[in-house]
Amino acid sequence: MAEQHRKTTLDSGWVAARSTEVQFTGIQLTTTHPPTRPTSPWMQALVPGTVLATLVKNKAVPDPFYGLQNEHIIDIADSGRDYYTFWFFTTFNCKLSSNEHCDLNFRGINYSADVYLNGHEIILPKGMFRRHSLDVTDILHSDGTNLLAVLVHPPDHPGRIPPEGGQGGDHEIGKDVTTQYVEGWDWMAPIRDRNTGIWDEVSISVTGPVKIIDPHLVSTFSDDYKKAYLHTTTELENRSSLTAECSLSVQVTTELEDSICLVEHLQTQDLSIPANSAVQYTFPELFFSKPNLWWPNGMGKQSLYNVVIVIDVKGFGESDSWSHHFGFRKIESHIDDATGGRLFKVNGKPIFIRGGNWILSDGLLRLSKKRYNTDIKFHADMNFNMIRCWGGGLAERPEFYHYCDYYGLLVWQEFWITGDVDGRGDPVSNPNGPLDHDLFLFSARDTVKLLRNHPSLALWVGGNEQVPPDDINAALKNDLRLHPYFESVEENSKPVGDWSPMSTDFSQYLDGTRIYIQGSMWDGFADGKGNFTDGPYEIQNPEDFFKNHFYNYGFNPEVGSVGMPVAATIRATMPSEGWQIPVFKKLPNGYVEEVPNPIWEYHKYIPYSKPTKVHDQIQLYGDAKDLDDFCLKAQLVNYIQYRALLEGWTSRMWSKYTGVLIWKTQNPWTGLRGQFYDHLLDQTAGFYGCRCAAEPVHVQLNLATYLIEVVNTTAEEMSNVAIEASVWDLDGTCPYYRVHENFSLLPKKVAPIFKMKYPESKDPKPVYFLLLKLYNMSDNRVISRNFYWLHLSGGDYKLLEPYREKKIPLKITSKVSIEECTYNIQMLVANTSKRPASTSSTARLSDGFYGTHSLETLACGVGIEQKSSWFKRIHRCFAGKSDGLKVTEISGPDVGVAFFLHFSVHTSKMDHNEGKDTRILPVHYSDNYFSLVPGETMPINISFEVPLGVTPRVILHGWNYDGGEIICEVV
């Protein structure tokens, strides 16, 4: 993130009050009658934040995300705009020396504001996505104590919510340059204040006579990326009445380890800046030999350099400084001839896009670095490589981009246009976008300047399922045109880099380094022509994702499905009447319609059936008995659904598809659809289905053909690898086993290896488990592991219900380390049930089938034992550090697969009140919702933060462990 010289963030000490309840003017509030404490009508305010977030914080309104409480909060359409017009007040200290200047900075206000500082009034222009930097040097108090009051006005056209709801309400919100989701959507209830407030960072920054404004950093390459060049342009403003003789320097450092930094470059230039003027200065390019490149997640390291620009003024000293993390990388994009989809390259290497759609972190804009860190790490943990910031949400914040840089998530950033609000819908919306086109363009240009230095930013898009109005679209195309160097070979007759040495420096463009696409379904996305060809958005038969007819275009920007959270989240976010599971209504055609309770319906529940097309996927496991049973079975479906979605797309990497983005990864409130983790930050099993399917190198079962495939999305060829496939039945025996050895995987390819023929064997079991392992034969290292539960064609999973009664023994070895409030727990989880004894050494049949009552365990156990040395190494690591080692054994007389194991972290019983949610969230797991065959061992790492005074405990749940087992309690 960019940092400015002597910047102080004003994020505490604010109070707020409804404007109609304050009897003083802004001048009086900042001179003679300042509020001294949060007494009525004043209350503690959330800044950055919104009016509604402040009201919720003070319990002045109920939590709108709990149950149906949002219905008890008055909507701005009914109250009028004055009801949500609020004063925000704080004080700050700033004492200036001679020739110093102070700016008061607002990085985002929705929608307009009147600012009062020490009795002086400043009227801010409208617009949610524009920065305001006010030179307040002459109105600061000499003693350093300053009084600040801000009167914030809601959007001009907050609109009204039709009784039937709808996408963006009555669409009036589209007349303003603001977020559009706030009138409600099919995944979101309306936000009653329309996000009115000081929603982004407030700060003061002190500089000398000359100020640095919005530097632009651009990297170029030659000699196959072995040589790099940094191009830097910045605006410099001299606010003094004298010509400033300046020394301007740029320094580039890289962190080696343990906060030790290596200075790569330090360049200094002398220049003069006329009085009371601004100039643009471009540094001579800096040369780097063999730079550390920035790569997306799954392609390599996210190497970041720190660029610092400092300006010294003769007679004053250091006047201003600016710093930003920067990654050397080049992003190219073109429409692929083979698929018709848009193909992205990073540093010359094609990248198969697997990612998700993002709205925003929190619907009330309670944004924080800590939450952003968790959000983006979750996406990286799912092995995603792109996030699409949807046009009805935010121009995301620098903190969001900072963590995308750090974790390697490419970002597709849209501007504030959606088809529903800007061209179609019921009522039909206005296709001409916001009323003030100049404001839209100013905000777009300001957003580009704010975000353009982030290596994670991959492309700009005009809008969601809609193109901006012609004049806006033409201006954006012109402003965001590519420098010739960044145009892709496939789209131009000139080779990349064939540009005149006299052409404008790269960094002098507004951007110039990444493409602009006019809309999310144009130019290589969906059908490329803007027809409504994204989706679908509901439950699918898992095998359909693999079928050629499922989706006909090369890159799907939105495909969605279910997202039911765990039962604990339902209990934490709804009263008891919301704990009722859906009624399963049998239809004459044999399908089931799910009828959810009114609270689930309000929270936009999406069913697990699609009458006429998809049978209820929860009922495949038998009737759900209660909330816990329903949510557990939903997790089984979540895992299968999203793993199949990504595996189906990946199975046609480059031959049919160039990428897919799932709608959507998370909900900005307590919604019940399209999410991999809920608003409380607990993951669904779908999270781990995606994590499995999106591995850079992955072994998978094609559910349509039963071919076992290996996907290599990396740029490296892999040789001397093997696949082990073993089938396990509900009796704990292994009726099918096959190893395919010593083959190679070409880079960026999908390879079908062999067909899994167990379903074609004599008397196959109606429900069975399949374990696939891809491993390196030279050291037995497991590269990819994938576990399936399957039923025969036309069948179901109902036999898994009595399987819950089996008690499979486990042994869990754990070691805890604590650093301040962060806990790290390393575990080895072992299924200690014994593999079946051999009854015949000659019972092996062709293609690895085994007789029903005999098993050659030597063959069946080979693949498992081959990895034992790996597990032993891990175990020795534990054994060498005996202090704090804990062993938990769960006894059981049965032999079989320990199915669908999952951990959760809770406060101890002494730390919580009865009936309260005891979970500690968020928690990062190396894996969860996993299964172990007999004799198998798996390492699991868990990390989380715990508030002071809280004792955590780790609990294991599973299909065979219904009550939960306490594995680790740290006293």
Residues marked active site are found at 465, 558
Provide the pairing of β-strand 353-358 with 659-663.
Answer: parallel
Spacing of C-alpha 725 from chain mean position: 33
Give the CA distances from residue 961 to residues 32, 639, 903, 955, in Å, rounded to whole numbers and listed in that order. Answer: 67, 19, 11, 11
At 663, list the tokens. Answer: 């709608």
Q: Beta 659-663 vs 555-560: how paired, if at all?
A: parallel
DSSP 745: E
Q: What gap in Å lies between CA 914 and CA 844, rounded to an integer? A: 56
Other Cβ atoms within 10 Å of 301 Cβ, number: 11
CA dist 520 and 418 (Å) reads 10
User: What is the phi/psi pair of residue 404, to 5°?
Assistant: -65, -40
Q: What are phi and psi of 914, to 5 degrees?
A: -60, 135
Q: Which of 612, 614, 574, 613 is nearest to 596 (CA)?
A: 574
Burial of 693: CB neighbours in 10 Å, binned 0-12, 13-18, 19+: buried
- Closest CA relative to residue 739, chosen from 858, 652, 649: 858
User: Of 963, 962, 955, which is closest to residue 920 (Cα–Cα)?
Assistant: 955
**Contact between 582 and 600 (Cβ < 8 Å):** yes
Instruction: Report helix, strand or coil for 607.
Output: coil
The answer to whether 24 and 30 are in contact (CB under 8 A) is: no
Cis peptide before 495 (omega within 30 of 0): no
Strands (E), 656-803: 659-663, 697-701, 707-712, 718-729, 736-745, 749-755, 767-776, 782-791
Residue 799 near residue 766, CB atoms below 8 Å: yes
Angle separating helix axes 437-451 and 398-407, nearest 10 degrees: 40
The SS3 assignment for 374 reads helix
Integer Cα distance of 673 and 661 in angstroms: 16
Closest residue by Cα to residue 304 from 294, 315, 312: 294
Q: Given the structure tokens 């090369």, which residue do they identify? A: 554
Residue 241: beta bridge partners?
none
53 vs 366: CA distance, rounded Å? 7
Distances (CA, A) of 722 to 30, 100, 306, 889, 908: 73, 68, 43, 33, 45
Q: Which two tokens stand for residue 205?
A: 């920054």
Cα angle, residue 264 at apex, residues 262 and 266 outer, rounded to 5°: 115
Plot region of 82 (φ>0 → left; ψ -120 to 50 → alpha; else → beta): alpha
Contacts (Cβ under 8 Å, ≥6 apart) of 855: 733, 734, 735, 836, 838, 839, 840, 843
What is the C-alpha separation between 511 and 174, in angstroms, rounded? 26
Q: Does the bond joining 48 to the residue before it have cis omega, within 30 degrees of 0?
A: yes
Question: Residue for token digits 């006019």?
Answer: 518
Is 422 strand, coil or helix? Answer: coil
Place of tokens 């109005």: 469
- Distance CA(396)–CA(393), nearest Å, equals 8
Radius of gyration for the chain, computed over Cα atoms and rounded to the nearest angstrom: 30
